[in-house]
Amino acid sequence: MAEMPRNFLASAEILLSCPQDVMKRLCAHFVEFGTVAVDGACSRIDTAFGSASMEACQGCLKVRAEGRDESSLAYVKLSIAEHLLNFASAENPSIVWQGDGAVGQPLPYFREMRVVRTASVTPHMRRVTLAGNNLERFATGGLHIRLLLPRDGITPAWPVTGADGRPAWPEAEQRPDVRIYTLRRVDVEKGEVDIDFVLHEGEGMPGARFGCNADIGDIVGMTGPGGGSVAPADWYLLAGDETALPAIGRILEELPGDAQAVVRIEVADGAEEQPLASRAGLDVQWLHRNDIAPGKSTLLEDAVRKVRWPEDDRRVFAWAGCEYKSFRAIRSHLRQDRKLTREQHLVVAYWRCGFEGDTARREES
Ligand SMILES: Cc1cc2nc3c(=O)[nH]c(=O)nc-3n(C[C@H](O)[C@H](O)[C@H](O)COP(=O)(O)OP(=O)(O)OC[C@H]3O[C@@H](n4cnc5c(N)ncnc54)[C@H](O)[C@@H]3O)c2cc1C
């Protein structure tokens, strides 16, 4: 008889002055990402990657995390820890998980990757093909990954599993820079992924510099995957600047033949346009910034406002990825003018003019 796959489990008892309040905040946060049930002092959160059950006791929150594999469990522990530490930041509680997923082990959602090919896609976009082992988990469950980019000339040390479920990072200079990118293609059998790097201007920019200089044999780390994609619909709006072009390209390739997609993409100029393949019916407009700097134009939000939406009862879904200011404008248009529900849209800030990396692009709210 085939053995039943076992679930991976861990638990933690976290000392808190107001455990019930923290539990409520965690539940409120996860409503957007899964199913949440609260029953007095107990609650349960079920997400696509695993679940957490919580019990608010006297001065302590008991949490039980569960995942179908090591990575899923690690994601549950990580997301509970990150949000709990944020919601209870004033008392900085200690979290120590017991159970599966040992401290100091490699992160189960980490892979070391090696550059095997590079190619120019357009004058300002370079494709880097990375090879690594056991990439099956990267083919589903989100389009984007975090790239861990070694600093110039320094052999990196990679993060390992921390006692609280978050990655424990190496010290100072061995610590890689982290930037978010999209998996444009995943070939599990060949053990390869493609990443398309926008070669933008700026200071520092470890991501764009790696994209520009990557050479065969170079090593990077990769964690993930994560992030949302589109929900099933009959009619899609896909909008983005060049940083979102890899995601839009991949989404379009996966749409069914009976779907319609209105696609609006802002790029520097005509030389940055790329062929887009899809079985869906497409209405594509390329928007050229020409002399306007990236992040300074309103082309994308203006084009989104002009889109004609279906007037019948087709299911609609809007997806956008772009610079922070356009992200805010597009999101508020979709929510306030188009009255889309949370299930009908996903708008993400992919970068923020004048800010480095990931933190500043996140919404304060
Ligand atoms: C979910 C997600 C998926 C993404 N996928 C991709 C992808 O597939 N390909 C891709 O190229 N990018 C992608 N991005 C965007 C990328 O993460 C950011 O552009 C990131 O800031 C690049 O890091 P960097 O090290 O090059 O520059 P940073 O060190 O982050 O920034 C240095 C300076 O450059 C500016 N800058 C950053 N990005 C740009 C830009 N695109 N144009 C002009 N100025 C910029 C910053 O404002 C800052 O002033 C994605 C972002 C997210 C959130």
Q: What is the pLDDT of residues 96-134, one digit of tens each?
A: 999 998 899 999 999 999 999 999 999 999 999 999 999
Residue whose tokens read 């790329």:
274
Ligand 1, closest atom to CA 182? Answer: 8
Cα of 166 vs centre of ligand 1, distance in Å, is 24
Ligand 1, closest atom to CA 353? Answer: 47
Using the predicted structure, report yes or no on whether residue 259 has a pLDDT greater than 70. Answer: yes
Same fold, 8-99 and 235-361: no
Question: For atom 37 of ligand 1, which residue has the closest CA?
Answer: 351
Q: What is the pLDDT of residues 160-174, one digit of tens each?
A: 999 999 999 998 888
Pocket test for ligand 1, best of 210, 351, 355 (most atoms within 8 A of CB): 351
User: What residues are paired with 265 via a beta bridge?
Assistant: 240, 286
Question: For atom 33 of ligand 1, which residue has the closest CA?
Answer: 202
User: What residues are paired with 89 via a beta bridge?
Assistant: none
Least Cα distance to 34 among 14, 50, 20 occurs for 50
User: What residues are paired with 109 via a beta bridge?
Assistant: none
Q: What is the mean pLDDT of residues 37-61?
A: 94
| Domain boundaries defined on the chain | 8-99, 110-226, 235-361
Q: What is the mean pLDDT of residues 145-161?
A: 92
Tokens linked to 32 = 């957007």
Using the predicted structure, report yes or no on whether residue 220 has a pLDDT greater than 90. Answer: yes
Are the beta carbons of 261 and 252 closer than 8 angstroms?
yes
Using the predicted structure, report yes or no on whether residue 279 has a pLDDT greater than 50. Answer: yes
Q: What is the mean pLDDT of the chain?
A: 94
Of 82 and 227, the structure prediction assigns the larger pLDDT to 82
Cα of 274 vs centre of ligand 1, distance in Å, is 19
Pocket test for ligand 1, best of 198, 229, 363 (most atoms within 8 A of CB): 198
Type of residue numbered 118: T
Are the beta carbons of 76 and 65 closer than 8 angstroms?
yes
Ligand 1, closest atom to CA 227? Answer: 1
Using the predicted structure, report yes or no on whether residue 77 has a pLDDT greater than 90. Answer: yes
Among 5-9, 134-138, 344-348, the minimum mean pLDDT is found in 5-9
Q: What is the mean pLDDT of residues 214-236?
A: 94
User: What is the CATH number that goes with domain 235-361?
Assistant: 3.40.50.80
SS in 3 state form for 313-352?
Answer: CCCEEEEEEEEHHHHHHHHHHHHHHCCCCHHHEEEEEEEC
| pLDDT confidence bin for 33, thresholds 50/70/90 | confident
| pLDDT confidence bin for 361, thresholds 50/70/90 | low
Label the pairing between strands 345-351 and 42-47.
unpaired
| Cα(6)–Cα(3) distance, integer angstroms | 9
What homologous superfamily does CATH list for 110-226? Translation factors (2.40.30.10)
Cα of 206 vs centre of ligand 1, distance in Å, is 9
Least Cα distance to 362 among 187, 180, 106 occurs for 180
**Region of 153 on the Ramachandran plot (φ > 0 left; ψ -120 to 50 alpha; else beta):** left
Q: Which fold has domain 8-99?
A: TATA-Binding Protein (3.30.310)
Helix (H, G, I), strand (E, B) or coil at 116: strand
Q: What is the mean pLDDT of residues 199-227?
A: 95
| Cα(77)–Cα(14) distance, integer angstroms | 13
Least Cα distance to 349 among 241, 261, 194 occurs for 241
Tokens linked to 118 = 């590079």
Structure pTM? 0.92
Question: For atom 7 of ligand 1, which residue has the closest CA?
Answer: 181
| Cα(14)–Cα(57) distance, integer angstroms | 10
| Cα(169)–Cα(171) distance, integer angstroms | 7
Residue 194 C-alpha from the chain's centroid: 16
Tokens linked to 214 = 């990557």
Using the predicted structure, report yes or no on whether residue 2 has a pLDDT greater than 60. Answer: no
The contacts of residue 18 (CB under 8 Å, 6+ apart) are none
Least Cα distance to 155 among 176, 185, 180 occurs for 176
Question: For atom 39 of ligand 1, which residue has the closest CA?
Answer: 200
Q: What percent of the chain has pLDDT over 90?
A: 85
Element (H, E) at 353: none
Ligand 1, closest atom to CA 356? Answer: 30
- Provide, for the chain, the percentages of residues in helix, strand and coil under a 3-state DSSP scheme, each rounded to the nearest 5: 25, 35, 40
Q: How many CB atoms lie within 10 A of CB 40?
A: 8
Q: Give me the pLDDT at residue 362, please.
A: 63
Cα of 357 vs centre of ligand 1, distance in Å, is 7
Of 128 and 357, the structure prediction assigns the larger pLDDT to 128
Cα of 208 vs centre of ligand 1, distance in Å, is 7
| pLDDT confidence bin for 65, thresholds 50/70/90 | very high
Cα of 128 vs centre of ligand 1, distance in Å, is 16
Ligand 1, closest atom to CA 241? Answer: 41
Q: How many CB atoms lie within 10 A of CB 61?
A: 26
Q: Which residues line ligand 1 (CB under 6 A)?
A: 144, 179-182, 196-198, 200, 202-208, 227, 243, 246, 294-295, 348, 350-357
Q: Phi and psi at residue 362, in whole multiples of 5°?
A: -70, 150
| pLDDT confidence bin for 365, thresholds 50/70/90 | very low
Q: What is the pLDDT of residues 300-352, one digit of tens each?
A: 999 999 999 999 999 999 999 999 999 999 999 999 999 999 899 999 999 99
Tokens linked to 212 = 């520009």
Q: Give me the pLDDT at residue 359, please.
A: 72
Type of residue numbered 203: E
Using the predicted structure, report yes or no on whether residue 296 has a pLDDT greater than 80. Answer: yes
User: What is the DSSP secondary structure assignment for residue 203, as one 8-state letter?
Assistant: S
Strands (E), 49-143: 50-57, 60-67, 98-99, 110-122, 125-131
